[in-house]
Amino acid sequence: MPADDPKTLVSTDWLAAHLKDPDLRVIDASYYLPDMGRDAKAEYDAGHIPGARFFDIDEISDSASALPHMAPPIEKFMSRMRAMGVGDGHQVVVYDGAGLFSAARVWWLFKLMGKTDVAVLDGGLPKWRAEGREIEDMPPVVKDRHMTAQRQAHLVKDVTQVAAAAKLGDWQIVDARSPARFRGEEPEPREGLRAGHIPGSLNVHYATLLNEDGTLKRAADLRAAFEQAGVDLDRRIVTTCGSGVTAAILFLGLELLGHRDVALYDGSWSEWGQFEQLKVETG
């Protein structure tokens, strides 16, 4: 696995060694699609890494948007984090119950808000449990902590910007959905969406970046996954997926490869797939 980096990715060994650090905050960012048949909050209540706070991706979002879990306004993010006892000067580690599915989304949200001391737990809760490490079912004792944030607008793209990128070709658009969904061969899990992909986009299924145990692959293998899909790692990239969750896994992989000119299309296919005036490719 990649070396421990408190700004991107840390191992279970690293977290175990730092778990009692006074300025460490652990966040359970578990989230599941309806067809997964899992209840993230119920699983958190039943058992989580000691001290972990639960981050509700659907609630800590832009309630003014009809799209699923869009990035929240900066004021809402700061108030929710303050109430969770997460603030300035904290090292944050984010995990999820799938290994690596939704944790990268919350890592990206922190980056979007200008917070850089945040890492994803490699392998997440499954790896932590498999190693027989401590689990608790008690909610953490939370003390308010002031948080300042500054939105980093260059890390996110809206539909107008992505449409321009697709037309001009000045950004590569890389889609994290499965090959069958990308090609339009299977229906979208959300109703009312067309099948297919953004014209000119490339497909790097997020699962190709992961080992069987949910940990991220080594840098050489990450690089190969992108290059085999035709991605030029020297050019600008917009990551996209179904609703902006697994697109963050591609973002994390690119960050680990040292790629700094990356943005995430927050609306992703939940937005693009519903508007007839936006062109769609299949195959």
pLDDT 10s per residue in the chain (283 long)?
Answer: 567 999 999 999 999 999 999 999 999 999 998 888 999 999 999 999 999 999 999 999 999 999 999 999 999 999 999 999 999 999 999 999 999 999 999 999 999 999 999 999 999 999 999 999 999 999 999 998 999 999 999 999 999 999 999 999 999 999 999 999 999 999 888 889 999 999 999 999 999 999 999 999 999 999 999 999 999 999 999 999 999 999 999 999 999 999 999 999 999 999 999 999 999 999 9
- Specify the pLDDT at position 3: 78
Alpha helix positions (H), 24-172: 40-46, 74-83, 103-112, 124-130, 159-168
Choice among 166, 198, 241, 248 that is catalytic = 241
Containing H/E element for 180? helix 179-183
3-state SS of the chain: helix, strand, coil percent to 5?
30, 15, 55
Containing H/E element for 28? strand 24-28
What does the CA dihedral 97, 98, 104, 109 come to, rounded to 10 degrees? Answer: -50
In our burial notation (b when 16+ CB lie closer than 10 A, e otherwise), range 187-196 reads ebbeeebbbb
* 42 touches 67 (CB < 8 A): no
Q: Does 241 participate in catalysis according to the annotation?
A: yes
- Specify the pLDDT at position 33: 86
Domains of the chain: 9-151 (3.40.250.10), 154-272 (3.40.250.10)
Distance CA 263, CA 225 (A): 19
- Specify the pLDDT at position 2: 62
- Specify the pLDDT at position 35: 81
- Find, among 194, 212, 210, 201, the residue nearest to 179 by Cα: 201
- Find, among 264, 271, 208, the residue nearest to 236 by Cα: 264
Containing H/E element for 120? strand 118-121
List the end-to-end C-alpha distance of the chain, in Å, as a whole number.
34
At residue 44, what are phi and psi to the nearest 5 degrees? -60, -45
Predicted TM-score of the model (pTM): 0.97
Distance CA 208, CA 254 (A): 13
